[in-house]
Structure 1
Amino acid sequence: MTKRNKIIYWIATLWLALGMASTGIVQLIQNKEETEMMKHLGYPLYFLTLLGVWKLLGVIAILIPRFGLLKEWAYAGFFFAMSGAIVSHLACGDGAKELFGPLLLIVLTIFSWYYRPAERKCFSELKS
């Protein structure tokens, strides 16, 4: 892995982890803005707890060494959650302000996944 790719990976991964952890915490504490947004999107409020827990577990999964298959699941979960958020906001007629966060997180997910080192990829443990 080149130094450039390693820098891209860590910048994308750390920003992704920060974004997912902060939104996960906000969802777990269920502040007023989050509950209003969930109601606006038509989802039950218990989704906040589910998403918050999954995001925090996903952050742990992408940051710890090894466990390539677990990382794949975490990246897939981040991608599905953020693409679902984008579609939900579009379906409700929301504007760019509401789309910015999920779009940024989905881009960071893709960059982090694409540039991850070989030892963080699925099944790399089997080759050792």
Structure 2
Amino acid sequence: MKKSHKITYWIATVWLSLGMVSTGIVQLIQMEEEVEKMGILGYPSYFLTIIGIWKLLGVIAILVPKFPLIKEWAYAGFFFLMSGAILSHLAVKDEAVAYFGPGLLLLLTLFSWYFRPVDRRITRDLL
């Protein structure tokens, strides 16, 4: 693996992890602003607990060594979660600023996944 790929992976992964942990905690404690935002998007407030837990578990899965199959599921979960957030904001015609957070986290998810080291990838023997 090229050194530049390794650096790109870790920068993207650290920022992705920080973003997912911080938003996951905000969702778990159900900050008033988050509950209000979920209502505007048409989701029940208990959905915040579900996605907050998923985000924290996903970060653990991505950062812990080994378990490449679980990492793939975590990356897929982050992709679906962030693309779903973008589509939800589109559905209610939110202002452009509402797309920045999920858009950035989606981009970081893709970069982290693409540049992940070989030992963090699924091999044929795992399938």
TM superposition score category, shorter chain reference: over 0.9
Deviation of residue 96 (structure 1)? 1.4
Deviation of residue 123 (structure 1)? 2.8
User: Partner residue of 1:87?
Assistant: 87
User: Partner residue of 2:54?
Assistant: 54
Deviation of residue 95 (structure 1)? 1.5
CA distance in 1, matches of 2:68, 2:95: 36
CA distance in 1, matches of 2:33, 2:81: 19
Deviation of residue 52 (structure 1)? 0.2
CA distance in 2, matches of 1:101, 1:11: 17
In 2, are the aligned partners of 1:69 and 1:123 still within 8 Å (CA)?
no
CA distance in 1, matches of 2:122, 2:25: 28
1:121 matches 2:121: yes
% identical aligned pairs: 67
CA distance in 1, matches of 2:59, 2:81: 13
User: Partner residue of 1:73?
Assistant: 73
Structure 1: unaligned runs, 5 residues or longer: none
Deviation of residue 122 (structure 1)? 1.3
Structure 2: unaligned runs, 5 residues or longer: none
CA distance in 1, matches of 2:20, 2:123: 25
CA distance in 2, matches of 1:85, 1:115: 24
CA distance in 1, matches of 2:38, 2:87: 14
RMSD: 1.1
SS at match of 1:39: helix
CA distance in 1, matches of 2:96, 2:56: 26
Q: TM-score when scaled to structure 1? A: 0.96
In 2, are the aligned partners of 1:12 and 1:108 still within 8 Å (CA)?
yes
**Number of equivalences:** 126
Q: Deviation per CA, 1:59-109: give whole Å up to 9, x if none.
A: 000000010000000000000000000000000000111100000000000
Q: TM-score when scaled to structure 2? A: 0.97
User: Partner residue of 2:37?
Assistant: 37
